[in-house]
Chain A
Amino acid sequence: MSGHSIIQVRNLSKSFGKNLVLNEISTDFEKNKVVSIIGPSGGGKSTFLRCLNLLEIPTSGQIIFDGTDLCAKDVDINKQRQRIGMVFQHFNLFNNMNVMRNLTVAPVRILGMEKEEAEAKAIKLLKRLGLEDKASSYPSQLSGGQKQRIAIVRSLMMEPDVMLFDEPTSALDPEMIGEVLDVMKMLASAGMTMIIVTHEMRFAREVSNRILFLDGGRIDEDRPADEFFDSPRSPRLISFLDKVL
């Protein structure tokens, strides 16, 4: 195994009542690598991702983030979450705050950054995405693509060690998908560690080092991106790819 793994998943299971959604999953995520997760609807992709920062509490198993078992009793999960960015399908910008406050509230309140410093940093990032004129807008005044890019910036403001994306383009109009994917490509080439649940196959192939096929609560295939698409082994993956490509 090359490089150092930032997240190790060990025998992760998650049930909702009697419904076993994740079944003894084990895998590693390495620093500075991009891993995409694809699979059929209801296969447990979101649940898996949400377990990684404990938005869902695993039923059993371990999530070891940078050497810390997140499920351990004495771990302050809030501290760990500061280092794990998350981008949602429905953006989830704070609706009661304008863009600038969305970006600065966490660094100021949680990291104790000076307000001026946080704002300067926010402006710098907004400029890079050509969104600096939106600083005083409220989320309701933005397009979906703008909201999602701001949401990405909000995560970046915390300088996370890893970023989780749950179908970041699924709620977007087709013409806005590109602008969000471009930002993600930029992050990937800057070396950000990313775990991405997506239905954008071409994007996944282009940007990922590795792709996981999650189906029925298990990782059914786990291969480098090109092999994953060119020579899939699992019969279920083959039929899944047949349907979506």
Chain B
Amino acid sequence: MGFFAQIAAILERYTPFFMEGVKNTLIIAALSVVLGLIFGTLMAVMRMCRIKPLKWIAVAYIEFIRGTPLMVQLMFIFYGLPMIGITFPDVSWIPNFSRFMAGIVAMSMNSCAYIAEVIRSGIQAVDSGQMEAARSIGFRYRESMTLVILPQAVKNILPALGNEFVTVIKESSIVSVIGIADLMFRTNDVIAVTYRSLPCLAIAACIYFVMTFIGGRFIALLEKRMRHERA
């Protein structure tokens, strides 16, 4: 049987399997980015705030997360935390809830650090003259931020945030090692029953590519819209 015939045969039988994997991958990626965005924003605010201890905590967190492998962070959350008595509860009507939680917590803690940096650099990329003009006319720091700086920073932040989403989709494949049934995990399942690793991996690669490609296009579109809105 030729390579493409093998792929076709596998798809015919196992498409629902792959699709379940896709669903879980997307859920994990989306939740991680949303949570990462919420906590990343907080972290960015801490990183830029004038209260020194808060700033140090944020710097330490961001540097540590960015300087260690996601795999280690994931293992730490999944195996390490229960050892010191921190466990995620099981929820009877969601299978594997505690695994899922560990995966999402690890992914969003990781994403949070990167997003914090995206937000910070997006804000700092706004010309400092904008803040000076706002302050010199009599706006308070907070008003200057919300009226002048943030609306301009958003334009820098959104595209980078889109890239982060694409990255998270790819990186999330790592959660398969703790037994979350994401696309990578399901791919391994199919390999295990068919003994055909190459076609299965090709299918997985294509699906990942389609997801990131569509994600990327969508972001590019968003970017273009924003640029047209305000010349």
Residues of A within 8 A of B (CB): 53, 55, 78-79, 81-82, 84-86, 88, 90-97, 105-106, 109-110, 138, 140-141, 151, 154-155, 158
Q: Which residues of chain A are near B127, meaning CB under 8 Å?
A: 90, 92, 95
Q: Which residues of chain A are near B133, meaning CB under 8 Å?
A: 86, 88, 92-94, 151
Q: Which residues of chain A are near B151, meaning CB under 8 Å?
A: 96
Question: Given the known A-B contacts A138-B231, A141-B231, are A110 and B148 also in contact in the complex, defined by CB atoms under 8 Å?
Answer: no
Q: Tell me the residues in window 203-231 of chain B with beta carbons closer than 8 Å to chain A beta carbons.
A: 230-231
Query: In the assembly, what is the distance between CA of A109 and CA of B147, in Å?
Result: 10
A109 touches B129 (CB 8 A): no
Q: Tell me the residues in window 103-138 of chain B with beta carbons closer than 8 Å to chain A beta carbons.
A: 127, 129-130, 132-138
* Other A-B pairs, 17, CB within 8 Å; known A85-B136, A96-B152: A53-B136, A55-B132, A55-B135, A78-B139, A81-B137, A88-B133, A90-B129, A93-B133, A94-B147, A94-B148, A95-B152, A96-B151, A106-B137, A106-B139, A110-B138, A140-B231, A158-B138
B231 touches A105 (CB 8 A): no
Question: Given the known A-B contacts A95-B152, A109-B147, A140-B231, are A88 and B132 also in contact in the complex, defined by CB atoms under 8 Å?
Answer: yes
Task: Encode B139-169 as 1/0 by CB contact (under 8 A) with A.
Answer: 1100100011001100000000000000000
B230 touches A86 (CB 8 A): no
Query: In the assembly, what is the distance between CA of A140 and CA of B138, in Å?
Result: 24
B129 touches A81 (CB 8 A): no
Query: In the assembly, what is the distance between CA of A151 and CA of B133, in Å?
Result: 10
A92 touches B130 (CB 8 A): yes
Quote the shortest CB–CB distance from A75 to chain B (angstroms): 13
The tally of CB-CB contacts under 8 A between chains A and B is 65
Quote the shortest CB–CB distance from A149 to chain B (angstroms): 15
A79 touches B138 (CB 8 A): yes
Top 7 A-B pairs, shortest CB-CB distance = A82-B138, A92-B133, A92-B129, A86-B136, A96-B151, A81-B138, A106-B137
Question: Given the known A-B contacts A94-B148, A96-B230, A105-B147, are A78 and B140 also in contact in the complex, defined by CB atoms under 8 Å?
Answer: yes
Quote the shortest CB–CB distance from A85 to chain B (angstroms): 8
Q: How many interface residues does B have (CB within 8 Å)?
A: 19
Query: In the assembly, what is the distance between CA of A85 and CA of B151, in Å?
Result: 24
B138 touches A78 (CB 8 A): yes
A94 touches B130 (CB 8 A): yes
Quote the shortest CB–CB distance from A122 to chain B (angstroms): 14
Q: Which residues of chain A are near B139, meaning CB under 8 Å?
A: 78, 106, 109-110
Query: In the assembly, what is the distance between CA of A78 and CA of B137, in Å?
Result: 8
Query: In the assembly, what is the distance between CA of A78 and CA of B139, in Å?
Result: 6
Most buried by B among A78, A140, A141: A78
Q: Which residues of chain A are near B129, meaning CB under 8 Å?
A: 88, 90-92
From B130, B136, B143, give the contact of A109 (CB < 8 A).
B143
Quote the shortest CB–CB distance from B156 to chain A (angstroms): 12
Q: Which residues of chain B are near A140, meaning CB under 8 Å?
A: 231
Query: In the assembly, what is the distance between CA of A151 and CA of B137, in Å?
Result: 11
Q: Which residues of chain B are near A86, meaning CB under 8 Å?
A: 133, 136-137
A155 touches B137 (CB 8 A): yes
Quote the shortest CB–CB distance from B228 to chain A (angstroms): 12
Question: Given the known A-B contacts A88-B129, A105-B147, A106-B139, are A94 and B134 also in contact in the complex, defined by CB atoms under 8 Å?
Answer: yes
A84 touches B231 (CB 8 A): no
B138 touches A106 (CB 8 A): yes
Q: Which residues of chain A are near B147, meaning CB under 8 Å?
A: 94, 105, 109
Q: Which residue on B lies nearest to A106, using beta carbons?
A: B137
Q: Which residues of chain A are near B132, meaning CB under 8 Å?
A: 55, 88, 92
Query: In the assembly, what is the distance between CA of A100 and CA of B147, in Å?
Result: 15
Q: Which residues of chain B are near A105, meaning CB under 8 Å?
A: 147
Pairs across A and B, CB under 8 Å, 20 listed: A55-B135, A79-B138, A81-B135, A81-B136, A82-B138, A84-B136, A85-B137, A90-B129, A92-B127, A92-B132, A94-B130, A95-B130, A106-B139, A109-B139, A109-B143, A110-B139, A138-B231, A141-B231, A151-B133, A158-B138
Q: Which residues of chain A are near B143, meaning CB under 8 Å?
A: 109
Quote the shortest CB–CB distance from A1 to chain B (angstroms): 28
Query: In the assembly, what is the distance between CA of A85 and CA of B135, in Å?
Result: 11
Q: Which residue on A lies nearest to B134, using beta carbons?
A: A94
Q: Which residue on B lies nearest to A83, using beta carbons?
A: B138
Q: Which residues of chain A are near B230, meaning CB under 8 Å?
A: 96, 138
Q: Which residues of chain B are near A151, meaning CB under 8 Å?
A: 133
